[in-house]
A and B are shown apart, each in its own frame.
Chain A
Amino acid sequence: METAAPNYLLIIGGVLFVMLNVAAALIWVERRMLALWQDRYGPNRAGPFGLLIIAADSIKLFFKQDWVPPFSDKPVFVLAPAIVVISVLLSFVVIPFAPGIVVADLNIGLLFFLAMSSMGAYSIILGGWASNNKYSLLGAMRGAAQMISYEVFMGLALMGVVLMAGSFNLREIVEAQRGLWFFIPQILGFVIFFIAGIAETHRLPFDIPEAESELIAGFHSEYSGMKFGMFFIGEYMGITLISCMLVTLYFGGWLGPDFLPPIVWFIIKVVAFLMIFILLRASMPRPRYDQLMEYGWKILLPLTLVNLMITAAVVLWMEG
């Protein structure tokens, strides 16, 4: 126990450092990968493999004029982009990256993640409302409806995992996956959580709150400079977070054959999911807004309930 105190600072600092850098690096990774899958070159001029595009992009974001529209609601306008980054960063608190590498081993880890992801909805709503702009408001309304609906299936899909592991603690959930990763018995829950995760981070194909081609940029049309950067970084950290959760809940977290250390297994799995997220963006068309809602409430909700009932019945049967 006596080593706990110094370790904490190291872990917190390490997680913050890695997550912010991963979010920045994803700018380059995403653009290169999109280019690869679409038969183009992508950014390849600045530095080796175009890696310096990250520096160029961040410098551009920092030095752009940071304009607060005079017709906006200023305090809310400034607050909104901060909320998404704070809520996503707070979610990383409960993720067990490897045995011992976790900031807070909360007993309600999974619920904490759900709570933080529901707080993330505020940044879209408030950002769009405070901008006082038609397109922003439309984006915010779509975003609010989308995030509230998909949160329901997200939470319900996770309950299957909770039933099988018998705990909300993410470390215990990973430990419970020794022998069989949960994505085999919980394949339905996995697919639904994955879809809901894309909708929660409003990534393509579900980027309906932004939808450049119909709403300009949706809720962040009026944002510029680093305030836009916050939404941008928040989105990248959001997909990293969903990838981490998918790995932790369904793909055995840090578990893997012994020849590599646990943290390496975790990173490999997360990177694989990040690539899937980018591949989805490269290949899928955006559904219409009503299609998204109908798909959610008419297909995903009954499926999650069926999944939950079957899982509960099987768990009861196995126990008794």
Chain B
Amino acid sequence: MELTFYIAAAVATLATILTITRYNIIHALLYLVVSFLAVAVVFFTLGAPFMAALEIIIYAGAIVVLIIFVIMMLNLTHEDVDKEKEWLTPRVWVGPAILSLVLLAELAYIILAPDTQPTEALVAVDARLVGMSLYGPYMLGVQLCGILLMAGIVGAYHLGRQKKKVVHRFLQPKEERSAAI
């Protein structure tokens, strides 16, 4: 299990780096999917199979599909790839690199500092346990998410609202039909 964890973690890191550095956005998104799959394997090896499945279903299976769906409609060409190449100059990397280094230093400190090692043993977290904690201590979070999603649905409904669609000209009201002719 130890080895699979390290392999999956390496794949995830590599795929994420490739996601950032690709010029073609669809290729970048494909590497992002690989990265999500690798993270799912990491969850699985750490004893959270339910989270692993959700990671694939929600992130890799739904969210990235929707992003690709939108990008498909943009009709990207070689010019866009070249433009992307122009934008990604070395100077752009400086800011994010410094911020990431700060985070990396923190992570190294947490792992290496002797008093912050987790003491409790790892337990497998299955669907039942996730449900118990969601509807126990984290009830408020679930409710807030529900409210947020409800707002999203209402907003989407408002944006997508349209006049009653007439699927065939024979079903149109008479005056409209004669006006159209």
A119 and B60 form a contact (CB under 8 A): yes
A151 and B72 form a contact (CB under 8 A): no
Asked if B148 CB lies within 8 Å of chain A CBs, one says: no
Asked if A108 CB lies within 8 Å of chain B CBs, one says: yes
Which residues of chain B are within 8 angstroms of A114 by Cβ–Cβ distance?
A: 53, 57, 61
Asked if B126 CB lies within 8 Å of chain A CBs, one says: yes
B26 and A73 form a contact (CB under 8 A): yes
Closest residue of chain B to A125, judged by CB? B68
Q: A-contacting residues of B (Cβ < 8 Å)?
A: 24, 26-27, 30, 33, 49-50, 52-54, 56-57, 60-62, 65-66, 68-69, 72-73, 126-127, 165, 167
A144 and B69 form a contact (CB under 8 A): yes
Assembled-state Cα–Cα distance A75/B62 (Å): 23
Closest residue of chain A to B53, judged by CB? A111
A151 and B69 form a contact (CB under 8 A): no
Q: B-contacting residues of A (Cβ < 8 Å)?
A: 73, 75-76, 79, 106-108, 111-112, 114-115, 118-119, 121-122, 125-126, 128-129, 137, 140-141, 144-145, 147-148, 151, 155, 168, 290
**Residue of A115, A137, A145 with most partner-chain B CB within 10 A:** A115
A119 and B61 form a contact (CB under 8 A): yes
A111 and B62 form a contact (CB under 8 A): no
Give A294 Cβ to nearest chain B Cβ, in Å: 9
Which residues of chain B are within 8 angstroms of A73 by Cβ–Cβ distance?
A: 24, 26
Main DSSP-derived SS at the B contact region? helix
Assembled-state Cα–Cα distance A118/B167 (Å): 31
Give A298 Cβ to nearest chain B Cβ, in Å: 12
Which residues of chain B are within 8 angstroms of A122 by Cβ–Cβ distance?
A: 33, 65, 68
Closest residue of chain B to A291, judged by CB? B167
B127 and A119 form a contact (CB under 8 A): no
Give A110 Cβ to nearest chain B Cβ, in Å: 9
Which residues of chain A are within 8 angstroms of B126 by Cβ–Cβ distance?
A: 107-108
Contact of A119 among B30, B50, B56, B72 (CB under 8 A): B56
Closest residue of chain A to B54, judged by CB? A111
Contact of A76 among B27, B57, B165 (CB under 8 A): B27
B65 and A121 form a contact (CB under 8 A): yes
B26 and A151 form a contact (CB under 8 A): no
Which residues of chain A are within 8 angstroms of B61 by Cβ–Cβ distance?
A: 114-115, 118-119, 121, 151
A144 and B68 form a contact (CB under 8 A): yes
A148 and B66 form a contact (CB under 8 A): yes
A76 and B30 form a contact (CB under 8 A): yes
Q: List 19 A-B contacts (CB under 8 A).
A: A73-B26, A76-B30, A108-B52, A108-B53, A111-B53, A111-B57, A115-B60, A115-B61, A118-B60, A118-B62, A121-B61, A121-B65, A122-B65, A125-B65, A125-B68, A141-B69, A147-B65, A290-B165, A290-B167
Closest residue of chain A to B72, judged by CB? A129
Closest residue of chain B to A121, judged by CB? B65
Give A143 Cβ to nearest chain B Cβ, in Å: 10
Which residues of chain B are within 8 angstroms of A140 by Cβ–Cβ distance?
A: 72
Known: A75-B27, A107-B49. A118 touches B72 (CB 8 A): no
Closest residue of chain A to B126, judged by CB? A107
Sorted nearest first, the 9 A-B pairs with minimum C-beta distance are A118-B61, A111-B53, A115-B56, A108-B49, A108-B53, A144-B69, A115-B57, A129-B72, A115-B53
Known: A119-B56, A144-B69. A168 touches B26 (CB 8 A): no
Assembled-state Cα–Cα distance A143/B25 (Å): 21
Which residues of chain B are within 8 angstroms of A75 by Cβ–Cβ distance?
A: 27
Assembled-state Cα–Cα distance A137/B60 (Å): 21
Which residues of chain A are within 8 angstroms of B24 by Cβ–Cβ distance?
A: 73
Which residues of chain A are within 8 angstroms of B30 by Cβ–Cβ distance?
A: 76, 79, 126
A141 and B65 form a contact (CB under 8 A): no
Give A245 Cβ to nearest chain B Cβ, in Å: 16
Give B126 Cβ to nearest chain A Cβ, in Å: 6
